[in-house]
Chain A
């Protein structure tokens, strides 16, 4: 069975600063993918970044980057130069045979 754990229910950061959201997972799959999705107050789920487990290089998308530690089954998200629009619930997800979501981290960016 796949599990995803996000140990930080809430976090806050000042605008323009950097914040890191934590995620650990467990899976018996050999090939899998890891995702970070963003859910703003509008409820729309938006893909932030995706990591292929067999790639050692950490994925980056503009201000968003991940620290993928496969042996430790850790997949943290770093947001640089935080913006007010980054305020949202962030979900970590692991996809082997199906997509499994963590419980989310509510991030608030303060002006």
Chain B
């Protein structure tokens, strides 16, 4: 059971380039999330998904897109990279335990450090 895996671990992009951050979980969790963590700050929610085919915006969605075609995968797409997107990106997943979206423990991946120059 690998949990939540993210690739790549590190990436440097030039301004205007595009890339996809991959996230996969093998825990059969319905809910998945993408966060960004800027230096010295807490995590901010970019997008989340409550199941295959369903996605919704979080607190800071601008400049990003997501898709959820399977339960396991939740890729995050950056279309036109900007220096403001330099950050560490975390993917997380949770299983609905009846406490609702808000109460479930979220399991995090190891993060992707992205630098845009």
Q: Contact at B48–A103, with CB atoms within 8 Å?
A: no
Whether B40 sits at the interface, judged by CB under 8 Å, is: yes
Query: Contact size class for B?
Result: 20 to 34
Given A43-B110, A44-B108, A44-B110, the answer on whether A98 and B41 have CB atoms closer than 8 Å is: no
> Number of contacts between A and B (CB, 8 Å)?
57
- Residues from chain A with Cβ under 8 Å of B90 in the complex: 45
B42 touches A103 (CB 8 A): yes
Tell whether, in the assembled complex, residue B42 and residue A4 are in contact, meaning their CB atoms are under 8 Å apart: yes
Interface string of A1-24 (1 = CB under 8 A from B): 000100000000000000000000
| Residue B68 at the chain A interface, CB threshold 8 Å | no
Q: Which residue of B lies closest to A93 (CB)?
A: B42
Which residues of chain A come closer than 8 Å to B45, judged between CB atoms? 98-99
Residue of A nearest to B59 (CB): A98
Q: Does B99 contact A (CB under 8 A)?
A: yes
A95→B29 CA distance, assembly (Å): 18
Instruction: Tell me the complex Cα distance, A91–B40, Å.
Output: 11
In the complex formed, the residue of B with least CB distance to A102 is B42
Contacts of A52 in B (CB 8 A): 99, 103
A42, B110: Cβ atoms closer than 8 Å:
yes
Contact B106 A96 (CB under 8 A): no
B102 interface neighbour in A42, A43, A99, A104, Cβ under 8 Å: A99
Q: What's the minimum C-beta distance from A96 to chain B, rounded to whole angstroms?
A: 6
Are the CB atoms of A50 and B105 closer together than 8 Å?
Answer: yes
7 smallest beta-carbon distances between A and B, as pairs: A101-B42, A45-B108, A95-B102, A33-B103, A101-B43, A43-B111, A47-B105
17 more CB-based (< 8 A) A-B contacts, given A46-B108, A50-B105 = A32-B102, A44-B110, A44-B111, A45-B90, A45-B92, A45-B108, A47-B105, A50-B103, A52-B99, A95-B103, A96-B102, A98-B48, A98-B58, A98-B101, A98-B102, A99-B43, A99-B102
Could you give 15 example pairs across A and B, Cβ below 8 Å?
Answer: A29-B102, A31-B100, A32-B102, A33-B99, A44-B110, A45-B92, A47-B105, A52-B103, A95-B102, A95-B103, A98-B45, A98-B48, A98-B58, A99-B43, A103-B42
